[in-house]
Structure 1
Amino acid sequence: MAKIAFILLCHKDPDAIIKQAQSLTAVGDYISIHFDARAKAVDFARIRKALDANPNVTFAKKRIKCGWGEWSLVQATLLATEAAVEAFPRATHFYMLSGDCMAIKSAQYAHEFLDRREVDYIESFDYFASDWIKTGWKEERLIYRHWFNERTQKRRFYAAFALQKQLGLTRAIPDDLQLQIGSQWWCLRRRTVEWILDFCRDRPDVMRFFRTTWIPDETFFQTLVRHLVPENEIDSRTLTFLMFSDYGMPVTFYNDHYDLLLSQDFLFARKISPEATELKRRLGVLYSSEGTRFQISNEGRSLYKFLTSKGRIGRRFASRFWETESSLGRERELLIVVCKKWHVAKRLLERIRQVTNVPAIEYLFNEESTALPDLGGIQSTLGKRHRHRRALMRMLFDYYETDRLIVCMDPANLDLLEDFCGDRSVTRLLEVECQFSDDYLIGHAMRVGLAGDRTPRETLARLLPTIRHDMTHESDRIRDAGFQNHARMREIDPPETNARLIADFLTIPQDRAMEIAMTDYLFAD
């Protein structure tokens, strides 16, 4: 059975470290600790006093001062790993942890999980081909030398970079290495760790290169594992559950996250809040439990995305200023013309403008080029319009200083129709049902990329029934939704019938509605 030697890098909260070490070693696992040399000596002395008698605990033979983005983090990891390899010959796996990580599964589950596959678990993606780095420097991390800490010596850091760039002092990446990047939280087999330590002794050129790269803890082990281990023995994932906010900051877990953490397909999680004492207690008990069954749903990241995008009312995530009121307003009336033939709806809207003077906007959720006033950027892209649909509509009501507004929508926009029809405002739908000739459907297929100029007639003949059925299906979905105030104006009906529908839709007299219904070439293609 697997026996894990945990490689713990920490720099604060000695009492929490002591409890963490006691919990992890209570079931027979091991731990090797590197406590940052920047931390208080009295704190390290307390840790040594509490754990020195524990045979399953060892310490790095040398403590160094660590800094974010520096080689020192890799150096500290290597020192703790060397100590673990020497002290624990029965350890089969070496698992990288920080002081704010905790197990979210039992030791029994973790050991069985590691026994299932003979692989190393480490995120490792091609440095240059992948999009793991979302923003900021990429090649600059490697081809320039970085001697200073970006956070504590910012002026020196950027001055040294600017000077090298000005003088063209770049360097080459070691020829035999394909640089990789990924999370620094890995779990490696003993054989792999021994290979890495041997490599470090045999390749001083590689060590010199990584010592002056920026953020090497995201590239050093990731690159070496890919260099030393066959690809089929690497699972490019981390076993530590972590999430980042939109601002690149790690998400912190609290007491009420216990059930969520247990349901994730990971063995550990970070970052656990120092104040989450109850969560830490429950997770500590969990690690030594036996026979515990875990229901894996793995919805953590999607839940976080949902909560941060929707906002928690009155709690952690505040809404944007334009979303403080989610309704269009009870006193307002939104009139929606729904039509698949956009040119027909646009003709209808133009005639309505002339007869009623009600502000009317064409396919604002379908066409980027729709003419809209400047609303502070919320109208600038279709993506923003869809995300902030109600806010956009409220702003349009305010801009035109009106309580009535007409817009056009495509029948495919059922989600928009459901959203607006569910609002507290009055929403009316006028669905314009058109006839679709074969020539129109062929043109539609070409516009949306289903066919081209050279598509054989036989292929088009097989395609047309499907396209026609798809358009019928969109109309059926709208009817099945059961919207209130929904009327259907049909091309095949006489103008008198359509005029009655228009009069009800716009709440205007019958004679003015007849002017609209009698519009020349309204349904012409």
Structure 2
Amino acid sequence: MAEIAYILLCHKDPQAVIQQARRLTVAGDNMAIHFDASAPAEQYERIRAELDGLPNVTFAKKRVKCGWGEWSLVQATLNALESAIEAFPRATHFYMLSGDCMAIKTAEYAHQFLDARDVDFIESFDFFDSDWIKTGMKEDRLIYRHYFNERTQKRRFYAAFNLQRRLGLKRAIPADIQVQIGSQWWCLRRRTVEAILAMVAKRRDVMRFFRTTWIPDETFFQSLVRHLVPDTEIESRTLTFLLFSDYGLPVTFYNDHYDLLLAQDYLFARKISPEATDLKARLGRLYAARDVSFQISNEGRSLYAFLTGRGRIGRRFGMRFWETESSLGRERELMIVVCKKWHVAKRLLERIRQVTNVPAVDYLFNEENTALPDLGGIQSTLEKRTRHRRSLMRMLFDYYETDRLIVCMDPGNLDLMEDFFADRSTTRLLEIECQFSDDYLAGHARRVGLAGEQTSAATLARLLPTIRNDMIYETDRIRDAGFPRHGRLRENATVEENAGRLAEFLTIAPEKALQIVRPDHLFAD
């Protein structure tokens, strides 16, 4: 009978990892865990302390710091596979999981399912001929070398990419490898995993190639399995049920999806909402149950496509981007920096990026050319960003894989601030209070088209008080709104005073805040 070794890659929530390991090993299966080396050491130590006594649980012998789209995710998987092969000699199948996955069938059903099919379950479609990639890079993922992370080192990523393209530094794909692409959630037989590990040790050229491809977890195992295993022994599908929105983001499942999930022809589902405590409890009990019959209807994808194509009221399948009530997420924290002098706010955000790891985005609702990732087109115009503001923000949280995000807004965006403060997420506001000289106001009038180069000094003199009063009015409206968690940095305050307010806003140590605000030119025009 099949015996499964689950390969779990995770980077947060130690308690959830512990619960998942106990749930999936109670029926005699196994688990090899790789916990991201960039996560706090005390979290990993807690997991080890709780699970070290379980004979069916092992850990990757070497942990690596993982980043989305990087080779590090593949290396972490290989490290966990090596530990699993050694620790679980009776394991017949190796099943890739994340911390967001949960079983939607019993262990009994899963074992019978795998016994009935002597194949590897892994999506593997021809990289060049298929339309698996919907947006972003395609061929460029492979033919150029990618040394930097596109999310955390965007400038370096594109600088290196553009330099190679200008210089014509394309590289060849290993001659005997037909690159495949597909989901990273697979289930492989033992002999396939052993063959992959043997090839990894032998084929340094293949390893060199994939180490510098972009998003290799969607191509590495998919290509090697197709290279090593006959087509008749590969079922090009995943056993993990997952849906994607029109914008390429994974659909989240909630408490009222239990019956829908059980009816799908899959063994696991991803992603389960952190807030779906009832669903998690029911699915957790399900895995160890016996003699459960499942009525497979497999309508999940078509039903989701039907409903999202029309829009509706209700929450059964999660909230949609066009519903104004849709939330950023109760566990998330949005930090809004408001300043009329955009260059001052941008300067502050650049300092914050240098000193902290919190992602920060400049005036995304005010400047069309603000640097934003490709989110399927919702980011393409100011009008779209504003209309789908909450959806855009949720996508940015997901893109940066963070629960904390900083954005800049103009004081005139009061309606946006009110909307975000009405959300269930935690919203903070930091207002930067600047001094406005007549020269600055005159320049502002020219930048926004209120005055031209030929406007007389007398006309400007009459215009400046109105502009100044308008700026004061915008500030007063923000203060009259009575937002909670509203702090201010002042140009005429001391560095220590501003550091204290910034530390409170970012919830960081005062010395870090002092490091951010210390430069004398922060408020310079």
TM-score range for the pair, normalised by the shorter chain length: 0.5 to 0.7
Map of 1:288 onto structure 2:
288
1:47 aligns with 2:47: yes
Return the alpha-carbon distance in structure 2 between the equivalents of residues 281 and 161 of structure 1: 46
Secondary structure at 1:9's aligned position in 2?
strand
Return the alpha-carbon distance in structure 2 between the equivalents of residues 234 and 304 of structure 1: 28
1:268 aligns with 2:274: no
Map of 1:80 onto structure 2:
80
Larger gyration radius, structure 1 or structure 2: 1
Map of 2:204 onto structure 1:
204
**Counterpart mapping for 1:49-448 below 5 A:** 49-313=49-313, 316-317=319-320
1:94–1:264 distance in 2 versus 1, CA, 3 Å: same
1:186–1:314 distance in 2 versus 1, CA, 3 Å: closer
Return the alpha-carbon distance in structure 2 between the equivalents of residues 102 and 95 of structure 1: 12
Return the alpha-carbon distance in structure 2 between the equivalents of residues 249 and 314 of structure 1: 20
Return the alpha-carbon distance in structure 1 between the equivalents of residues 234 and 116 of structure 2: 14
Question: Residues 286-341 of structure 1: CA distance to partner in whole angstroms, max 9, x if unpaired?
Answer: 000000000001111112112212212265236599xxxxxxxxxxxxxxxxxxxx
Return the alpha-carbon distance in structure 1 between the equivalents of residues 95 and 117 of structure 2: 15
Secondary structure at 1:113's aligned position in 2?
helix
Return the alpha-carbon distance in structure 1 between the equivalents of residues 144 and 16 of structure 2: 39
Return the alpha-carbon distance in structure 2 between the equivalents of residues 209 and 318 of structure 1: 39
**Counterpart mapping for 1:504-515 below 5 A:** none
Secondary structure at 2:147's aligned position in 1?
coil
Return the alpha-carbon distance in structure 2 between the equivalents of residues 312 and 50 of structure 1: 45
Secondary structure at 1:298's aligned position in 2?
coil
Counterpart residue type for residue 169 of structure 2:
L
Contact kept, 8 Å, 1:122 with 1:235, in 2: the verdict is yes
Cα deviation, residue 28, structure 1: 0.2
Counterpart residue type for residue 72 of structure 1:
S
Return the alpha-carbon distance in structure 1 between the equivalents of residues 300 and 238 of structure 2: 15
Cα deviation, residue 267, structure 1: 0.2
Secondary structure at 1:237's aligned position in 2?
coil
Q: What TM-score do you get using the length of structure 1 for normalisation?
A: 0.60
Counterpart residue type for residue 196 of structure 2:
I
Return the alpha-carbon distance in structure 1 between the equivalents of residues 72 and 249 of structure 2: 21
Counterpart residue type for residue 294 of structure 2:
F
Map of 2:17 onto structure 1:
17
User: Which structure 2 residue ranges, 5 or more long, are not aligned?
Assistant: 325-525
Q: What TM-score do you get using the length of structure 2 for normalisation?
A: 0.60
Secondary structure at 1:310's aligned position in 2?
coil
Counterpart residue type for residue 116 of structure 1:
A
Counterpart residue type for residue 178 of structure 1:
Q
Secondary structure at 2:309's aligned position in 1?
helix
User: Which structure 1 residue ranges, 5 or more long, are not aligned?
Assistant: 322-525
Counterpart residue type for residue 298 of structure 1:
N
Return the alpha-carbon distance in structure 2 between the equivalents of residues 297 and 208 of structure 1: 44
Map of 1:476 onto structure 2:
none
Return the alpha-carbon distance in structure 2 between the equivalents of residues 4 and 314 of structure 1: 38
Return the alpha-carbon distance in structure 2 between the equivalents of residues 52 and 276 of structure 1: 28
Return the alpha-carbon distance in structure 1 between the equivalents of residues 135 and 211 of structure 2: 23
Return the alpha-carbon distance in structure 2 between the equivalents of residues 274 and 82 of structure 1: 30
Counterpart residue type for residue 94 of structure 2:
F
Return the alpha-carbon distance in structure 2 between the equivalents of residues 27 and 320 of structure 1: 42
Question: Residues 223-270 of structure 1: CA distance to partner in whole angstroms, max 9, x if unpaired?
Answer: 000000011000000000000001110001111111110000000000
- Number of aligned residue pairs: 321
Contact kept, 8 Å, 1:312 with 1:318, in 2: the verdict is no
User: Which shows bigger deviation, 27-36 or 128-137?
Assistant: 128-137
Map of 2:503 onto structure 1:
none
Contact kept, 8 Å, 1:102 with 1:283, in 2: the verdict is yes
Map of 1:6 onto structure 2:
6
1:261–1:314 distance in 2 versus 1, CA, 3 Å: closer
Question: Residues 45-75 of structure 1: CA distance to partner in whole angstroms, max 9, x if unpaired?
Answer: 1110110000000000011100000000000
Secondary structure at 1:24's aligned position in 2?
helix
Counterpart residue type for residue 134 of structure 1:
K
Return the alpha-carbon distance in structure 2 between the equivalents of residues 137 and 172 of structure 1: 17
Question: Residues 362-383 of structure 1: CA distance to partner in whole angstroms, max 9, x if unpaired?
Answer: xxxxxxxxxxxxxxxxxxxxxx
